[in-house]
């Protein structure tokens, strides 16, 4: 079975103390994950060592960075490299989140560089893709997300891309009042898997977990995760509430 993943994205939220308490409350629920299930916490940089320490004795619980720079090193004040993340024992890194694409001007080419640097440092990328509202309204979402995969990932050999985690973000359904249905989620996830299969093979595509990142909540996680091509969620706001994220972890297939 493909990996099923509950990934928390704290974004720029919580103090150190509040983050530590949130992790404690979630871990106190004592959810035993199966061998194919993962819980990943993408936390702000100052909390990475604390988070890694909190989860390191828990089976299949991991800390993740929310970003890394697209250069190995250099005069980039305020940035953090993949090598730095590796040096503190971080195994996962979110790459290409829609907010970074929008607010920081990250291009598909830059994200290809980030993906490469993650792999060079034994870090699994959680690669985000997805379309904004204008693209969805035009009905061109398939070609849009296919280009994101092609331009950022398809230079990878099959043995590397098999290790990746993909997160689909329907940007048009986040904070717009519009809601993506489970049918829409399944449809685009299946399309993404088809695009990967066409480039590599069905067996490669079948191995890659594709997470849904469109306002996953405690009350819709089970329905979303029941879709055959939805392998968990990249969770924003609901990951900041212990009770909610606990239910989302429990909803994994």
- 155 has catalytic annotation: no
Secondary structure E strands in 90-158: 92-95, 124-129
- 97 has catalytic annotation: yes
Long-range contacts of 214-223 (CB under 8 A, 24+ apart): 214/168, 214/169, 214/170, 214/173, 214/174, 214/180, 214/185, 215/173, 215/174, 215/179, 215/180, 216/248, 217/244, 217/248, 218/243, 218/244, 218/245, 218/247, 218/248, 221/247, 221/248, 221/251, 222/251, 223/182
- Residues near 61 by beta carbon (within 8 Å), at least 6 away in sequence: 27, 33, 38, 39, 40, 41, 55
- Extract the tokens encoding 249: 């972890």
Q: Which of 54, 106, 131, 169 is catalytic?
A: 169
Burial class (CB in 10 A: 0-12, 13-18, 19+), 145: buried
Q: Which of 86, 97, 189, 247 is catalytic?
A: 97
Q: Which residues are catalytic?
A: 97, 169
């Amino acid at each position: 079975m493909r990996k099923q993943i509950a990934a928390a994205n704290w974004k720029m939220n919580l103090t150190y103390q509040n983050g530590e308490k949130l992790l404690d409350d979630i871990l106190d629920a004592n959810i035993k994950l199966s061998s194919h299930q993962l819980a990943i916490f993408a936390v702000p940089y100052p909390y990475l060592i604390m988070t890694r320490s909190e989860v390191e004795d828990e089976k299949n619980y991991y800390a993740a960075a929310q970003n890394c720079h697209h250069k190995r090193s250099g005069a980039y004040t305020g940035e953090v490299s993949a090598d730095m993340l590796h040096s503190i024992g971080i195994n996962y890194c979110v790459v290409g989140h829609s907010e970074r694409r929008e607010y920081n001007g990250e291009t598909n080419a830059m994200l290809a560089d980030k993906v490469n640097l993650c792999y060079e440092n034994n870090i699994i990328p959680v690669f985000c893709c997805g379309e904004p509202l204008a693209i969805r309204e035009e009905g061109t979402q398939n070609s849009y997300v296919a280009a994101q995969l092609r331009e950022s990932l398809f230079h990878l050999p099959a043995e590397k891309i098999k290790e990746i985690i993909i997160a689909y973000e329907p940007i048009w359904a986040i904070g717009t009042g519009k809601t993506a249905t489970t049918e829409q989620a399944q449809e685009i996830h299946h399309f993404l898997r088809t695009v990967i299969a066409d480039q590599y093979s069905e067996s490669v595509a079948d191995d890659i977990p594709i997470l849904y990142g469109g306002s996953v909540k405690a009350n819709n996680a089970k329905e979303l995760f029941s879709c055959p091509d939805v392998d968990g969620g990249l969770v924003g706001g609901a990951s900041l509430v212990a009770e909610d994220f606990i239910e989302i972890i429990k909803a994994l297939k």
